[in-house]
Amino acid sequence: MEAIAAIVAGVVFVALVIIFVSRQIPGSTEGSRAGGLVQLSHLKCEKCGGEFDYAWVPFGSFTAIRLGPSRYFACPICNKRSVFDIWDTRVDPKTHHCDIQIGPS
């Protein structure tokens, strides 16, 4: 049991270090989304048709279930859970703008 707690603590520590370091990258601006570590996807809910942006970190998530290039989470508009393809819907944050955004900033 102590080994599992140590592993969980290690994973949380590494995630926090990655988030901290990504915010300290030189040349990082508001439009670059933490120097390129945080990705941005423009998603459309299949249940309500609402569109929103989802900011995410590759290979990690505290708020969604990872399913390869997709994530399973609740739509911020209708609050119904769906699978969203976040990999193929990535957008450039410098040229893309959407009013509704969820995920790390």
pLDDT of residue 22: 54
Q: Where are the domains of the chain?
A: 2-102
Per-residue pLDDT of the chain (105 residues; tens, 9 = 90+): 788 888 988 888 877 776 665 554 444 444 444 445 778 899 999 999 999 998 888 777 666 777 778 889 899 999 999 999 998 999 988 888 777 666 654
pLDDT of residue 25: 43
Pairing of strands 65-67, 70-74: antiparallel
With CA atoms as reference, report the closest residue to 22 among 10, 8, 9, 39: 39
